[in-house]
A and B are shown apart, each in its own frame.
Chain A
Amino acid sequence: MKEPLIKIRNIVNRFGDNIVHDGVTFDIFPGEIVAVVGGNGTGKSVLLRTIAGLQKPVSGTVAVAGNDVAGKARQNLWGVLFQKGALFSNLTVAENIAFQMKEKTALPAKDIREIALMKIRLVGLPPHAAGLYPSALSGGMTKRAALARALALDPRLLLLDEPTAGLDAPAAAAFDRLIRDLVDDLGISVLMVTHDLDSMAEICDRIAVLVDRKIKTGTLKEHLKDNHPWMREYFHNKRAHFLEKI
């Protein structure tokens, strides 16, 4: 069995009296896409923020390939795609992508520009997007530009917060394919919060379901057999009906 890339152990998150996570434990392996699903308020985004180091858990650890994440070098191990992109509005797309490269590497400006252009093509944006400001981008382009920025330093894990939310069906499908291709070709791992059942069926290797403040991981098929009331509701409702065919 492969060594996990990220080991999440016994995460407890609490806001006041409200316990969101009570011992969340799972692994992410290299080269796989894991979806995080759960009802509203079950702390999907909180879990993502915890793994990204933006939220300090009450207890529990997130260990990256053997090292505890409390260390300082952790930023280069993952890239985060925020729900609304979070592109720096005063920088062009190319400058957004180049930002971390300028900060963290000793590369000459010319190389940084070339690599940024390469990343723009890597995520399927047209070359002229390089000079555009985020306010001039459509929803799909914003997601792609933000993905290119998340990939700037070639992280080993991508954390995606609802990557296909707000995209129309063809754009969402294209974005899903892009993520799958990147994972297969670059050998990275992805953890994504999603409500998109299509995404789960099409590109995700495993699904982590947040129920009862804990997490259940498994493939879609395994979850379909689960008898937990919320899981039945979620995976067997009418809108998810087509999944049974898989």
Chain B
Amino acid sequence: MAGGNGDALMQYCDIQEEKSGVTLHLLGGWTIFTLPEIAKELRAFRPARKTKITIDGKKLESFDTAAAWYLGTLRATLEQSGALPHLHGFREAHLRIFDKISRLRPAPEERAETKTSPPRFLTGAIVALGRVAAQVWEDAYRGIGFFGTFIVTLAGGIFRPKRLRLRSVAFHINEIGIKAVPIVALMAFSIAFVMGYQGAFQLQKFDATVYTIDLVVLSILREMGVLITAIMVAGRSGSAFAAQLGTMKLNEEVDALRTMGENPFEVLVLPRLIAIVIALPLLAVLADATGLFGGYVFSSSYLGYSPMQFLARMQGAADMRQVLVGLSKAPVFALLIGVTGCMQGLKARGSAEDVGRKTVTAVVQSIFLVIVADALFSVIFTKLGI
């Protein structure tokens, strides 16, 4: 009739079959930690229909809400299969827990409602794609609006320099520019050195190592100097903008400014954007200089050029135009990084976690935009024949 296997391994349940029905003695500690064992012991417990089942809780030592939930489920399943369970001999404290939890059981129709089917794979992918597209559109739209606000606020500030907050601008130039000097210099030097090394190795095959200098000088001045600087600034300052403004937004500091009649854009964003537009080109000049120095160190140590030979070769390869081509991109990159960082920061809402997410987005987006813009510049400069 009943399926209790009756061996000595039953630690939490003791099933006794009598003529009048089945008695299920609950033993020891019924807690969330022992539930897996209890479930195992009762797996084979399948009493026949109309069996009277006495669930005896006299020997229970402890009983928690998870166990109460399990016992309630057990009782419901037994009732559904047609058996007639009832509780007996429970301590008052245990019974109180059981009653409390039993009252919380949802009605069957409510239960069905909580089960939501996961989205199908294809639908899910299309929905995700649509979300990303909408997000990109929204970011682009807001970014353009942000840029426009910057221009308008800046124009307004030209007539009232006090509104440009020069102290704040100076502070941010120090943060973005001066503190980044060592790392940018080191990066540009190393990149130039590596390019020289790789270039010389290839050009050697054509017996044209002398062109290594042309290669290094041109790529540093036109591309690498400013690109390396922009990527470094995106990582250092774009992320800092997003994190600072995001934290201020969550901390309601932005709202506090607004209630004081201040324009948060003017107080927080404008100084950062002015500072980055000044600092990034200056860093790019530094990157050009240290990059050229890296090229010289390589060619003197590996190719044996004297300083005068290097200078002569360099002047033959590049003129002021190359320097300007490279540096002309710097303010554009600066704005892309600054606008992306500030915009993402101000978009943060909800929790500190969102600030982290927006910071990541700011860095990824600004590096992506810098590289796309660089590609566009290359096309434009080539078409113009510069």
* A174 located at the interface, meaning its Cβ lies under 8 Å from any Cβ of chain B in the complex: no
CB neighbours of A184 from chain B (8 A): 96
* A109 located at the interface, meaning its Cβ lies under 8 Å from any Cβ of chain B in the complex: no
Q: How far is the CB of B43 from chain A (nearest CB, A)?
A: 12
**How many angstroms between the C-alpha atoms of A76 and B31 in the bound complex?**
11
Query: Are A89 and B353 CB-contacts (below 8 A) given A105-B32, A118-B101?
Result: yes
Q: Indicate if the CB atoms of A122 and B101 lie closer than 8 Å.
A: yes
Max count, chain B CB within 10 A of own CB: residue among A76, A151, A153: A153
Which of B31, B32, B96 interacts with A185 by CB under 8 Å?
B96
Q: Indicate if the CB atoms of A105 and B351 lie closer than 8 Å.
A: no
CB neighbours of B179 from chain A (8 A): none
* A186 located at the interface, meaning its Cβ lies under 8 Å from any Cβ of chain B in the complex: yes
Q: Indicate if the CB atoms of A114 and B64 lie closer than 8 Å.
A: no
CB neighbours of B350 from chain A (8 A): 133, 135-136
Q: Indicate if the CB atoms of B353 and A154 lie closer than 8 Å.
A: no
* A121 located at the interface, meaning its Cβ lies under 8 Å from any Cβ of chain B in the complex: yes
CB nearest neighbor in A for B35: A107
CB nearest neighbor in B for A119: B65
**How many angstroms between the C-alpha atoms of A23 and B354 in the bound complex?**
44
* A226 located at the interface, meaning its Cβ lies under 8 Å from any Cβ of chain B in the complex: no
* B109 located at the interface, meaning its Cβ lies under 8 Å from any Cβ of chain A in the complex: no
Max count, chain B CB within 10 A of own CB: residue among A101, A134, A135, A154: A154
Q: Indicate if the CB atoms of B33 and A115 lie closer than 8 Å.
A: no
Q: Indicate if the CB atoms of B32 and A101 lie closer than 8 Å.
A: yes
* A130 located at the interface, meaning its Cβ lies under 8 Å from any Cβ of chain B in the complex: yes
* A106 located at the interface, meaning its Cβ lies under 8 Å from any Cβ of chain B in the complex: yes
CB neighbours of B39 from chain A (8 A): 111
CB neighbours of A33 from chain B (8 A): none
**How many angstroms between the C-alpha atoms of A105 and B109 in the bound complex?**
30
CB neighbours of A117 from chain B (8 A): 106, 114
Q: How far is the CB of A165 from chain B (nearest CB, A)?
A: 18
Q: Indicate if the CB atoms of A121 and B104 lie closer than 8 Å.
A: yes
| Interface of chain A residues 16 through 74 with chain B (CB within 8 A) | none
| B interface, over-half SS | helix
* A218 located at the interface, meaning its Cβ lies under 8 Å from any Cβ of chain B in the complex: no
CB nearest neighbor in B for A100: B32
Q: How far is the CB of B323 from chain A (nearest CB, A)?
A: 48
* B100 located at the interface, meaning its Cβ lies under 8 Å from any Cβ of chain A in the complex: yes
* B169 located at the interface, meaning its Cβ lies under 8 Å from any Cβ of chain A in the complex: no
Q: Indicate if the CB atoms of A130 and B100 lie closer than 8 Å.
A: no
Q: Indicate if the CB atoms of B66 and A127 lie closer than 8 Å.
A: no
**How many angstroms between the C-alpha atoms of A187 and B36 in the bound complex?**
24
Q: How far is the CB of A59 from chain B (nearest CB, A)?
A: 33
**How many angstroms between the C-alpha atoms of A228 and B350 in the bound complex?**
45
Q: Using an 8 Å CB-CB cutoff, how does the interface string of A88-125 with B read, 1 for contact, 0 for none? A: 01100000000001001111100100110111011000
Which of B64, B66, B351 interacts with A135 by CB under 8 Å?
B351
Q: Using an 8 Å CB-CB cutoff, how does the interface string of B63-79 with A read, 1 for contact, 0 for none? A: 01110011001000000
CB nearest neighbor in B for A182: B100
CB neighbours of B65 from chain A (8 A): 115, 118-119, 122, 151, 154, 186
Query: Are A154 and B110 CB-contacts (below 8 A) given A122-B101, A186-B100?
Result: no
* B352 located at the interface, meaning its Cβ lies under 8 Å from any Cβ of chain A in the complex: yes
CB neighbours of B106 from chain A (8 A): 117, 121, 127
* B93 located at the interface, meaning its Cβ lies under 8 Å from any Cβ of chain A in the complex: yes
* B27 located at the interface, meaning its Cβ lies under 8 Å from any Cβ of chain A in the complex: no
Q: Indicate if the CB atoms of B114 and A130 lie closer than 8 Å.
A: yes
Q: Using an 8 Å CB-CB cutoff, how does the interface string of B163-198 with A read, 1 for contact, 0 for none? A: 000000000000000000000000000000000000
Complex A-B: 27 CB contacts under 8 Å: A89-B353, A104-B33, A106-B36, A107-B35, A108-B36, A111-B35, A115-B69, A117-B114, A118-B101, A122-B65, A122-B100, A127-B114, A133-B350, A133-B351, A135-B349, A135-B354, A151-B65, A154-B31, A154-B65, A184-B96, A185-B96, A185-B97, A186-B64, A186-B96, A186-B97, A186-B100, A187-B93
Please give 13 more A-B residue pairs, beta carbons under 8 A apart, in addition to A117-B106, A118-B66.
A90-B353, A105-B33, A114-B73, A118-B101, A121-B106, A127-B114, A135-B349, A135-B350, A135-B353, A135-B354, A151-B65, A154-B65, A186-B96
A-B interface, 8 closest residue pairs, ranked by CB to CB distance from nearest: A135-B350, A154-B64, A106-B36, A121-B104, A135-B351, A89-B351, A185-B100, A89-B353
**A interface with B by C-beta (< 8 Å):** 76, 89-90, 101, 104-108, 111, 114-115, 117-119, 121-122, 127, 130, 133-136, 151, 153-154, 184-187
